[in-house]
Amino acid sequence: MRLIGFFVAALAALPEVVECAAGRVHHAKDGSVIGTTAGRPTILPKPLTTGKQFIKSERRKRTCFVDALGNGQDDGPQILAAAQECNGNGTVALLSPLYTIATPLDLTFLNGIDFDIQGTLKFTPDTDFWQENSFKYTFQNSSAFWQFGGYDVHIFGSGKGTIDGSGQVWYDLYAKDPLILRPILIAYNGLHQATVSGLKLRYSPQWYQVVIDSSDVIFDDIDIFGGSVSSNPAKNTDGWDTYRSDNIVIQNSHIDNGDDCVSFKPNSTSVVVQGLFCNGSHGISVGSLGQYYKVYDLVEDVYVYNITMINASDMARIKVWPGVQSALSVDLQGGGGIGLVNNITYDTMQISNVEYGIELTQCYGQKNLTLCNEYPSTLTIQNVMFKNMFGTASKKYDPTVGTLVCSSPSVCHNIYAQNINVVPPSGKAPKYTCTNIDRTLLNIPCV
């Protein structure tokens, strides 16, 4: 089995521009203190890296302070103006307690800039406006409130900066109409050589973050939470989705959400995920893949390390659509795609109250197993390692604690499981469903 090369290791005035320095006290016009600038943290992949390079950025020379307008006025235009003013070796400092965002922010032009976010940026709950004006993407009919893109960009919240998507109105509306267009909290679209750290992300209408056409980005110390306070759950609130992106590191973060903790969408390559605590999720997932008919999907060279997963449907998950169009739900359907999953490792995983420690399926989105058998997926899954997993499953499938079901032996090769110690809560002997897969490589009790 080939192993990836991972190694330990209202229009406001233009913003005030001053020479950049961490620890600078910023005052309001009346002399009161708004806040103090933070220094950009040094973020490195640790302990594992992809083996690829991340650049070292220069110290920024200018700071653009953006003071919130208050009284519910839209701060979006002045944040955009600050980004334009300090683009090219500057810092946008958002130190006020609360910013209201009522317009979409397209920040895909960035080059050599930092964002020091210490206040809360809260998107307005105008569902009609945002459905019409959010940024649209073709993949899975998704959209976003705002998007970051460009080169040499650092976004840091110092453990207090918060971005709030006002998700409750969306959770309630989605329960009435599953075809509404719910925005993603943040899209990183064409972002390269960047870090995102120390942020609190709250109440996203849909996915919290999507990484599109990006490379060489590290996410560190991200705190995600977004539960519903009504009877309508917060659905599809993935922590991260990577798509057509390379050399991505996601680490040292806490995720409390209602869908995938991290999901590797099509054409995600050279990704490390490490040091995460995930609660209430659908696991760390390869896929879903094969959704679009005859479209080639690739997920390759992924290492998932040192994960704690509790109260979840899955821990390690690979999900592929069948070889024919099918429907998972009114707003999500597909199948018939082709492609490759190659060189994936899940290593060192602690679970508690998780339905399946391991789930591999090529019948995603379809409960009709007869249809899946009649139209098997042709997407190849190869060189996958599950190792060093321990803990207790949930009682849902007791005593079954995992399932590995390939569409046929011809498309699944070199799937390994080693040192897996997951037990059902009943105390019975654990069982795994293993179909169309080489059981001699699985050191687990297949039935």
As a residue count, the chain comes to: 447
* 251 in Cβ contact with 240 (< 8 Å): no
Catalytic residue status for 27? no
Determine which one of 27, 192, 282, 413 is catalytic. 282
* CA atoms of 329 and 103, how far apart (whole Å): 31
CA distance 118 to 94: 6
Q: What is the 3-state secondary structure (H, E, C) of the chain?
A: CCCCCCEECCCCCCCEEEECCCCCEEECCCCCEEEECCCCCCCCCCCEECCCCCCCCCCCCEEEECCCCCCCCECHHHHHHHHHHHCCCEEEEECCCEEEECCCEEEEEEEEEEEEECCEEEECCCHHHHHHHCEECCHHHCEECEEEEEEEEEEECCCCCEEECCHHHHHHHHHHCCCCCCEECEEEEEEEEEEEECCEEECCCCCCEEEECCEEEEEECCEEECCCCCCCCCCCCCCEEEECEEEEEEEEEEEECCCCCEEECCCEEEEEEEEEEEECCCCEEEEEECCCCCCEEEEEEEEEEEEEEEEEEEEEEEEECCCCCEEEECCEEECCCEEEEEEEEEEEEEEEEEEEEEEEECCCCCCCHHHHHHCCCCCEEEEEEEEEEEEEECCCCCCEEEEEECCCHHHEEEEEEEEEEEECCCCCCCEEEEECCCHHHECCCEC
Q: How far apart are CA 213 and CA 188, in angstroms?
A: 8
Catalytic residue annotation: 282
